[in-house]
A and B are shown apart, each in its own frame.
Chain A
Amino acid sequence: MRSDYLDNDPGSSSNNSRAAWASASNGSSSSNNRQTRIKPENGNNEDMYGSSSSEVHLRGGAPAPDYFGHSREEITRILIQALDDLGYDSAAQLIAQQSGLEVESPDVAAFRAAVLQGKWDTAEKVLWGGPQGQGQGLVLAPGADRNAMRFRLRQQKFLELLERGEKAKALGVLRVELTPLCVDQQHVLSSLSRYLMCQDGEDLRSKAGWDGAGGLSRRVLLSQLAECISPSVMLPEKRLAVLLDNVKAAQMEKCIYHTTDVSPSLYSDHMCERSQFPTEVMLELDRQQGEVWQVRFSPSGERLATCGSAKGVCIWDTRTFNLVRMLNGHDTEVSNIAWSPDDSMLVSCSMDGYAKVWNAQTGELEKQLDKFQEPVSSCVWLPDGSGFITGSLDKPKSLCEWDLEGNCVYTWTKRHRTEDLALSADGNWLVAMDDQCKLHIYNVPRREKEWEVNLRSRLTSVSVSKDSRYILVNTVDDEARLYDIEAREMVQKYKGHSGGKVIIRAGFGGASENFVISGSEDGHVYIWHKTTGTLVHKGEAHNPRVNSVSWNPRDSGMFATCGDEGRVKM
């Protein structure tokens, strides 16, 4: 219980020098001291509240020092901040008066005002705590570097001066204030001095990626600096919302059969029933001849496209499950299909080296790309639908970007063959899987390769989660792996299904993409919980093997599987 009270750094005692508890809106740091001081008195708070001008009346006499195990001070301040954010200003003020606590100490408030108004000298003074070094300035979070914060303040000052055209002053700032701070970071200094060359504010803004004094840059700076300030002195923004997000995320992760798209209500703990989880075959689509190799829902969830050894692409409507269109025109098997983000177009990739762009509504062939020497393996559309990228086993044209006219806009690489492609929903990462057990990750906006990883076993499919954070690869060694893009390491493994020599595809699915679903050589469809890796469902699907699976992006209770006997099951 005692540990719930915030133990503030001794250094902050200077801040509390002006603390007189009687004044209602007192700096919060003073209350910290107050807490620590009364600790030895069995947490009896009579004098704490009795002396303030407003009194707290709670049922049962002396108010409890904590709220069911949580520090009273923390809860109250967080609540005040939340009420303020919600717009209930007067309520927030009332609570502040009643409890005598404030969301942030006057020092921090002064700092915030100084930064937002561009009064850099004031800001620095507050940061350092007085010209004579009296007091310690703002209390910082552990590990924060006062010099780094100072640098950021001065950098903003420099950029703003440049924007206003006061080059001489800016140069002065650069020389006198910034240079001594970056003794070993010459590149930073040189890039800043390059900005001196900019013609005017516009140029500066675009070159520096900075949106000007009038824009959000000051707020952004404040948020950055806020991270360095100790959270007990200045509450991180939206703290209550952040805490509740964590709770919801934790509950959703524990929910094994999570199938609702709705954000769980806070009134009760969240747990999905197994009955909601799709486990039964609702319908079989039987019109394809040959083997079905790929099944894909359109991004809106209204259409389903399948392709396979039957040389044509079938498009079905997901409400009536009628065959809506047949796209004929390939002379050989079609290995992969890709929907455009607005459902209007479809690219089909075939084994004879042709990639064709179709109008998905009318079924007409819009464009045919020049023949590749080897099979086209995959295709992904850019998020804005302005073009697409094809992956092929043809080395010189292995990863090419095309526009809607069929012109090759960019050749990404000629160094490896591409067997499967995936593009993150935010358009930042392009993941290409080659035939040598390697994954290549490219940064899309910069058009350069970020990293590659050798997974040591033959890969069969790759996909990226909708939140653009994870890559899922399926291997021939009976394993599917989840990689974190930013951290560049494997975070989870999924076992149980079998691979082999054939391309078996796996993907994400379910409400908020909580599940990993995969086909298998043994004819079953496997569904695992994404974060824990536990097998949630194993169902018989096709004979002899399940080639590909796709979850309806709009209806988390439906997914489709396809297999070698030419059937698609929903």
Chain B
Amino acid sequence: MGLTYNTYLNSDKIYGCKNCKAHLANAHEIISRNFRGQHGKAYLFNTVVNVEAGAPSERNMTTGRHVVRDIQCRQCKDVVGWKYDRAYESSEKYKEGKFILEAELLCNVN
């Protein structure tokens, strides 16, 4: 697919892929820390970089039914979280188009 370089963020606190340290998101742009994933704590972000989204699937989550896609690190292909495509409950609509990164799969890059 051609030569591409990773995107790099500018911040003093950046979360990166635990495996390959590719930049994923700016820690200061967390929208909410009130999420839980399969591996524990998870954070909601508006934008993440260097990820590829997989196929959409419907899942029942604690907050209701959603259509989500797993996102994986572009470089090492490890799953790092998921992205909300659709939320069936109106109170959960705010999540649509946003990303969840699981804290367990992240590391801090300076």
Is B55's beta carbon under 8 Å from chain A? no
Assess the B2–A502 pair: CB atoms within 8 A: yes
Chain B residue nearest in CB terms to A521 = B2
Is A530's beta carbon under 8 Å from chain B? no
Please give, as numbers and ranges, the residues of chain B lying within 8 Å of A393 by CB-CB distance. Answer: 5-6, 8
Is A547's beta carbon under 8 Å from chain B? yes
| A416-430 near B? 1/0 per residue, CB < 8 Å | 010100000000000
How near does chain A come to B16, taking the closest CB pair, in angstroms? 11
A395 to B14: give the CA distance in the assembly, Å.
14
Assess the B2–A435 pair: CB atoms within 8 A: no
| B1-34 near A? 1/0 per residue, CB < 8 Å | 1111111101000000000000000000000000
Is A401's beta carbon under 8 Å from chain B? no
Please give, as numbers and ranges, the residues of chain B lying within 8 Å of A507 by CB-CB distance. Answer: none
Chain A CB within 10 Å, residue with most, of B2, B3, B7, B8: B3
| A288-305 near B? 1/0 per residue, CB < 8 Å | 000101100000000000
How near does chain B come to A416, taking the closest CB pair, in angstroms? 10
CB contact list, A309-340 vs B, under 8 A = 333, 335
Please give, as numbers and ranges, the residues of chain B lying within 8 Å of A417 by CB-CB distance. Answer: 8
CB contact list, A198-231 vs B, under 8 A = none
Chain B residue nearest in CB terms to A375 = B5
Chain A residue nearest in CB terms to B23 = A374
Chain A residue nearest in CB terms to B2 = A502
A426 to B55: give the CA distance in the assembly, Å.
52
Is A456's beta carbon under 8 Å from chain B? no
Assess the A335–B2 pair: CB atoms within 8 A: no
Which residue from B5, B6, B7, B10 sits with its C-beta under 8 Å from A503?
A: B5
How near does chain B come to A473, taking the closest CB pair, in angstroms? 16
A377 to B10: give the CA distance in the assembly, Å.
19
Assess the A502–B8 pair: CB atoms within 8 A: no
**Chain B contacts to A: CB under 8 angstroms:** 1-8, 10
**Chain A contacts to B: CB under 8 angstroms:** 291, 293-294, 308, 333, 335, 374-375, 377, 393, 395, 417, 419, 435-436, 500-504, 521, 545, 547, 564
Q: List 22 A-B contacts (CB under 8 A).
A: A291-B1, A291-B2, A294-B3, A335-B3, A335-B5, A374-B6, A375-B6, A377-B5, A395-B8, A417-B8, A435-B7, A435-B8, A436-B10, A501-B2, A501-B4, A502-B1, A502-B2, A503-B2, A503-B3, A503-B4, A504-B2, A564-B2
